[in-house]
Amino acid sequence: MNKDIGSDRYMHVFEHLRELRKRVIISVIIFGIFVIIAFAMHNYIANLFIKFYSSVPGNSENKLFVNSIVEGMTTKIKISIIAGLVFSLPFHLYNVVAFIFPALEVKEKRYLIVALASSFVLVILSTYLSYFEILPVSIKFLTRGGFIPSDVGLLLNYNKNLFYALYFVFCSIIAFQSPIIFVLLMAFNILKRKTALKMSRYIVVAIFIISAIVTPPDVVSQVGLALPLVILYFLAILVAKIFKFGE
Largest CA distance in the chain: 87
Mean pLDDT for the stretch of residues 164-169? 88
User: How many CB atoms neighbour CB 172 within 10 A?
Assistant: 27
Read off the pLDDT of residues 117-146 as tens digits, 9 standing for 90 and up: 888 899 899 999 999 998 888 888 887 757
Name the nearest CA neighbour of 215 among 178, 152, 157, 164. 164
3-class DSSP state of 157:
strand
- pLDDT at position 1: 46
pTM, entire model: 0.82
Comparing CA positions, the residue from 115, 119, 130 lying closest to residue 228 is 130
